[in-house]
Amino acid sequence: MRTYLLGIDVGTTGSKALLIDPRGAVRAGVTTEYELRTPRPLWAEQDPEDWWRATVNSVRRVLRQSGATKEQVAGIGLTGQMHGLVLLDRWGMVIRPCILWNDQRSAAQCGAITKAVGATHVINLTGNPVLPGFTAPKLVWVREHEPHAYRRVAKVLLPKDYIRYRLTGEFFSEVSDASGTSLFAVGKRRWSDDMLNALKVPRAWLPDVTESPVASTKVGRFAAQQTGLLEGTPVVGGGGDQAAQAVGTGVIADGTVSVTLGTSGVVFAASDKYRVEPRGRLHAFCHAVPGQWHLMGVMLSAGGSLRWYRDALCAAETAAAKRAGRNVYDVILGPARRVPAGCEGLIFLPYLAGERTPHPDPNARGVFFGLRDSLELMRNLGLPLKQVRASGGGAQSALWRQILADVFGKPIGTVNVTEGAGYGAALLAAVGVGVHRTVADACRRSVRITSTTKPSEAVRVYADYYARYRELYPTLAKQFASLSAVVNKHLEM
Residue 410 has a pLDDT of 87
Q: Which tens digit of pLDDT belongs to each residue from 13-62?
A: 999 999 999 999 999 999 999 999 999 988 999 999 999 999 999 999 99
Q: Classify residue 81: in a domain, yes or no.
A: yes
pLDDT-based confidence at 318, cuts 50/70/90? confident
The mean pLDDT value for 221-245 works out to 97
Mean pLDDT of 140-145: 98
For the chain, how are helix, strand and coil distributed in percent, rounded to 5? 40, 20, 35
Q: What is the pLDDT of residue 150?
A: 98
B/e letters for 44-69, b = 16+ CB within 10 Å, e = fewer, are: bbbebebbbebbbbbbbbbbeebebe
Per-residue pLDDT tens over the stretch 372-381: 667 778 888 8
- Asked if the structure places residue 194 within a domain, the reply is yes
Average pLDDT over residues 97-104: 94
C-alpha–C-alpha distance, residues 350 and 335, integer Å: 20
What are the distances in angstroms from CA 263 to CA 147, 304, 462, 465? 33, 4, 23, 24
Q: Residue 488 — very low, low, confident or very high, per pLDDT cuts 50/70/90?
A: low
Exposure string (b/e) for 183-207, b if CB count within 10 Å is 16 or more? bbbbbebebbeebbebbebeeebbb
CA distances from 252 to 248, 291, 428 (A): 9, 11, 12
Structural domains in the chain (count): 1
Domain extent at residue 176: 4-250
Q: Is 374 within a domain?
A: no
Give catalytic residue positions.
241
Question: Which of 160, 127, 135 lies closest to 237, judged by CA?
Answer: 160
Under 8 Å between Cβ of 267 and 296 = yes
- Give domain status of residue 226, yes or no: yes
What value does the mean pLDDT of the chain take?
A: 87
Q: Please, which pLDDT band fits residue 346 given cuts at 50, 70 and 90?
A: low
**Domain assignment of residue 489, yes or no:** no
**pTM (2 d.p.):** 0.83
Determine, yes or no, domain membership for 115: yes
Is residue 24, in this structure, part of any structural domain at all?
yes
For residue 185, what is the domain's CATH number?
3.30.420.40
| Cα separation, 63 vs 84, whole angstroms | 28
Residue 323 neighbours by CB distance under 10 Å: 8
Give bridge partners of residue 210 from the DSSP assignment.
Answer: 174
Please say whether the beta carbons of 246 and 252 come within 8 A: yes
Q: What is the CB neighbour count within 10 angstroms for residue 108?
A: 13
Q: Are 414 and 387 in contact (CB under 8 A)?
A: no
Q: Between 459-491 and 372-380, two packed helices, what is the crossing angle to 10 degrees? A: 110
Respond yes or no on whether the N-terminal peptide bond of residue 362 is cis (omega within 30° of 0).
no
- In a domain, residue 114? The reply is yes
